[in-house]
Structure 1
Amino acid sequence: MASSPLHIAVIGAGFAGLTAARALKAAGHSVTILEARDRVGGRIHTKAAADGTPVDVGGQWIGPGQDRVLALAEELGVETFPSYETGDNLCLFNGERMRFSGILPPHAPEAVAETEATFQALDALAATVDAERPWTSPNAQELDNQTFEAWIQRTAQGPEARFWMRFLANSVLAADARELSLLHVLFYVKSGGGLASLISMSGGAQERRFTRGAQHLVERLAEDLRPNLRFNCPVTALHQDERGVVVEHAGGSLPADRVVVTLPPTLAGRLRYSPALPGARDHLTQRMPMGACIKIQCVYARPFWRDAGLSGMAITDAGPISLVYDNSPASGTPGVLVAFIEGEEAKLWTNRSAADRRAAVLGALVDLFGPDAAAVREFIEQSWLEEEFSRGGYGGFLVPGAWTTLGPALRQPCGRIHWAGTETASQWAGYMDGAIRSGERVAAEILAIAAAQ
């Protein structure tokens, strides 16, 4: 038990906030968790289809190396099951539909060789990055001064290799290659244990799903913290001095000794601070926009694609979707395909009508899977760009020049204000596991300060 208990306000009831609150409470401190939504989870959100099937409209996959989230699921008795990947994958590229197994479709041998070489070059470069302190990496300034797109154009000459690199930016970071700092892409790859880990199902980040949806794990984590939770309490301002912090929120104000902010940096930058944040921290929040993603679940009576020997995984360059997976429940019924509109396409299509998006997505699925894809029983979409308390997904990314000039401000406390959230993680940044790790880090940070007082 703490000899002089502190009262800590935690802003955000996702994995980061709940993990930090749990550790601080266990150490004898009091915590209050302020959540803007009427639920826990943040960018983790499970909805129910009409027949009760859980569908994750937010983050959903976990895999090897994500030790924190795997351990939490085991501790709390939350069941997972392997993602479905039996059968051939599909790729629609330059109007040609291809069935394939493995990572790459059957392009011309020279195109496959160049694509593999480009992947290897990116992986090798990422291995040189210090994920804990990217700005100290060899040639950090040179890497940070260029976009990922500039590297692609310099490294890959063929259209296939360039397509796969740009697809990587869309599918992993929900951003376009021309927006991303090359150093940030390398950091992200290193943080996730390498390219194979990030893009694979078996053995990779998409290996398993939660039987009752990812929000089930968040709900279980929140059970012992229910007395400490306040919902529908968006925070608007933080005022700190030598005595503590006052948190202003929709329901009034809350005094605290310290505050943990778990919002994505760009949203944290929208709060009012008194005194103002240090310039480096404020400028960091201006240079870390959110990715753009619309996630769509198409529910069918059965997974008809399996009858044709297909895995349900598909990639297309025809838009508006870029990536599809079999997202059926563990029982296999009903059949569910999850499709993603990402990056530039997401920014364009979030402005279109729901009817237009539905028609375009189903048309793309018919082009991939045949006419049965039109017989959708339920169409569930989630535009994370329109989410008031997320404003994008999957996470925030740094633009060129930001890591090397402002990187240290990402985790550096500002007086009594501490920063958590998956964007602040050095391992599995952007993932549930990274969010949990960030909560553990910030709790340890505060406990060390309390012990020294």
Structure 2
Amino acid sequence: MAHDVVVIGAGLAGLTAARELTRQGFDALVLEGRDRVGGRTKPAMLAGHPVDLGASFVGPTQDAVLKLAADLGCGTTPTYCDGANLIRWRGNVRRYQGTIPKLGWLGLVDIGRIQWQFERLSAGVSISAPWTAKNADKLDGMSLGSWLRSIKASASSRDLMAIMARVTWGAEPDEVSMLHAVRYVKTSGGLDRMLDVVGGAQQDHFPGGTHQMSAKMAAELGDRVRLNAVVSRIEWSSDAVAVASSAGVVDARRAVVAVAPMQRLDIDIAPAPPIEYQQLAQRWPLGALTKVYAAYPAPFWRSQGLSGQALSDAGPVFITFDVSPPDGPGILLGFTNPRGFDALPEPQRREQALACFAGLFGEQAANPIDYIDQRWGAEGFAPGGPTAAVPPGSWTEFGPLLRMPVGPLHWAGTETADEWTGFMDGAVRSGQRAAAEVAATLTV
């Protein structure tokens, strides 16, 4: 029996698309290559409490994911941020307040100048069609790193922006198109909203973990979700698709491919779309990022007047957050540069990560009651980081194709969103948009 729609990928984007279509009365089937749903959200337990190995935070204006969470009964809690933040910089550790540390008067002026110029550039860039900007070729022809050098940003400012690039895209500033950086930040509402905790993208997190949203959507869909179904080929005509996976062949009228653009290359599509679609996938690589967690009997840093948030120019951990449950142990989350770290055996990774925590928060941080890390680049299926780290030259050449359907094939995934690209909210919005596209074609 042919289905109305087959959705490839059971992350937030794919499950949202299937849920929306099913609620409208269409017969949707989801194929997922992993043995779990959730995509770039992933659950784990640490000291008896859930933690997010993938996407973690939500904040104001992320209305799509917040509404979904509320509909599913998934509550949020504020990210702890009382007290002073820490920065380990040029061998010294000191306290600071606010999102961006004030590295001296000149440093404050320089960061303010960078932020002003960033926002001035973004005013001329369309979120939905960034390639149409007057200076699109120039911005897309340079990296974030080369732009910072061109405006003579100080070494300290460049190093701070490198931390932003690593946590945002899992990439170095020289690896990311300036046009992509400007557009991406604009989809988040600006640098302050993207980087802040209170009033920003890190304001809240889920005590039960972000994965519960995917798990609850999958439970609603029931046997419409098939796991361990690695899709290898899609054959299509103007009004039908045949999707071959390790679970067999599925026929449908339309398909939603809800995977990261780079992962489209893993699927043989016949007839082949124009070569530019393959080139787009090659030019939209995922970044690389690793997360580490350590649990302690209590959040001891709070008694020292510390928020648990920290920045460091000494790796491998470069930024931390306090994600302790209200009635449990103290839990520190660290975002970690995978270069050099991921190749180490687990005992050495643990040693290096805890040394970073101890260098920031004192020797108590060296002795946790539990530890876990997640190397997204080492995933056996669909490896990669949090979102695409789009290199120079990609948006102006291939951007118009990013979500343009090919016959009955529609594209979803956070990279295709116009709001909160790269975040869970973008993933949900992309699923809603793809579902609307499909529904419109099926009801003609």
User: Which category describes the TM-score, using the shorter chain as reference length?
Assistant: over 0.9
Counterparts of 1:445 and 1:318, CA distance in 2: 47
**Match for 2:176: what amino acid?**
L
Paired residue for 1:87? Answer: 83
Paired residue for 2:439? Answer: 447
Equivalent residues of 2:114, 2:153 under 8 A apart = no
Counterparts of 2:239 and 2:413, CA distance in 1: 26
Counterparts of 1:253 and 1:121, CA distance in 2: 52
**Match for 1:297: what amino acid?**
Y
Equivalent residues of 1:37, 1:232 under 8 A apart = yes
The answer to which of 309-318 and 119-128 deviates more is 119-128
Paired residue for 2:414? Answer: 422
Alignment counterpart, residue 59 of structure 1, candidates 28, 47, 55? 55
Alignment counterpart, residue 257 of structure 2, candidates 258, 261, 271? 261
**1:359 and 2:355 correspond:** no
**1:24 and 2:21 correspond:** yes
Deviation at 1:330, TM superposition (A): 3.0
Equivalent residues of 2:175, 2:389 under 8 A apart = no
Equivalent residues of 1:46, 1:55 under 8 A apart = yes
Paired residue for 2:148? Answer: 152
Equivalent residues of 1:232, 1:250 under 8 A apart = yes
Deviation at 1:76, TM superposition (A): 2.0
Alignment counterpart, residue 335 of structure 1, candidates 330, 341, 346? 330
Counterparts of 1:6 and 1:450, CA distance in 2: 12
Paired residue for 1:12? Answer: 9
Counterparts of 1:203 and 1:24, CA distance in 2: 33
Deviation at 1:52, TM superposition (A): 2.2
Equivalent residues of 2:417, 2:427 under 8 A apart = yes
Equivalent residues of 1:192, 1:428 under 8 A apart = yes
**1:246 and 2:242 correspond:** yes
**Match for 2:387: what amino acid?**
G
Q: When the two structures are superposed, what TM-score results if normalisation uses the length of structure 1?
A: 0.95
The CA deviation string for residues 60-106 of structure 1, in whole angstroms up to 9 with x for no partner, is 10000101011112222211110000110000111111101112334
Deviation at 1:41, TM superposition (A): 0.7
Q: Secondary structure at the match of 1:65?
A: coil
Deviation at 1:243, TM superposition (A): 5.0
Alignment counterpart, residue 408 of structure 1, candidates 400, 405, 421? 400
The CA deviation string for residues 11-68 of structure 1, in whole angstroms up to 9 with x for no partner, is 111111111111111222111100112221111112112x420111110100001010
Paired residue for 2:118? Answer: 122
The answer to which of 138-147 and 236-245 deviates more is 236-245
Paired residue for 1:294? Answer: 290
The answer to which of 84-93 and 222-231 deviates more is 222-231
Q: Give unpaired runs (5+ residues) of structure 1.
A: none
Equivalent residues of 1:9, 1:31 under 8 A apart = yes
Where do 1:180-191 residues align within 5 Å?
Answer: 180-191=176-187
Q: When the two structures are superposed, what TM-score results if normalisation uses the length of structure 2?
A: 0.97
Q: Report the RMSD for the aligned CA atoms in angstroms.
A: 1.3
Counterparts of 2:443 and 2:152, CA distance in 1: 53
Counterparts of 1:153 and 1:394, CA distance in 2: 26
**1:113 and 2:109 correspond:** yes
Deviation at 1:397, TM superposition (A): 2.6
Deviation at 1:380, TM superposition (A): 0.5
Paired residue for 2:227? Answer: 231
**Match for 1:29: what amino acid?**
F
Deviation at 1:223, TM superposition (A): 2.4
Counterparts of 1:228 and 1:241, CA distance in 2: 24
Equivalent residues of 2:321, 2:334 under 8 A apart = yes
The CA deviation string for residues 155-185 of structure 1, in whole angstroms up to 9 with x for no partner, is 2432221112222111211111010000000
**Match for 2:72: what amino acid?**
L
Deviation at 1:126, TM superposition (A): 2.0
Counterparts of 1:314 and 1:241, CA distance in 2: 53
Equivalent residues of 1:93, 1:318 under 8 A apart = yes
Paired residue for 1:280? Answer: 276
Give me the identity figure in percent: 38
Paired residue for 1:210? Answer: 206
Change in Cα spacing, 1:125 to 1:242, as seen in structure 2 (3 Å) is: closer
Runs of 4+ in 1 over 6 A off after TM superposition: none
Deviation at 1:6, TM superposition (A): 5.7
Deviation at 1:308, TM superposition (A): 0.7
Counterparts of 2:341 and 2:171, CA distance in 1: 14
Q: Secondary structure at the match of 1:64?
A: coil
Deviation at 1:141, TM superposition (A): 0.8
Paired residue for 1:433? Answer: 425
The answer to which of 188-197 and 354-363 deviates more is 354-363
Alignment counterpart, residue 160 of structure 2, candidates 164, 171, 194? 164
**Match for 1:376: what amino acid?**
P
Q: Give unpaired runs (5+ residues) of structure 2.
A: none
Q: Secondary structure at the match of 2:243?
A: strand
Where do 1:65-104 residues align within 5 Å?
Answer: 65-104=61-100
Counterparts of 1:449 and 1:284, CA distance in 2: 25
Give the number of equivalent residue pairs: 443
Equivalent residues of 2:140, 2:392 under 8 A apart = yes
Change in Cα spacing, 1:99 to 1:434, as seen in structure 2 (3 Å) is: same
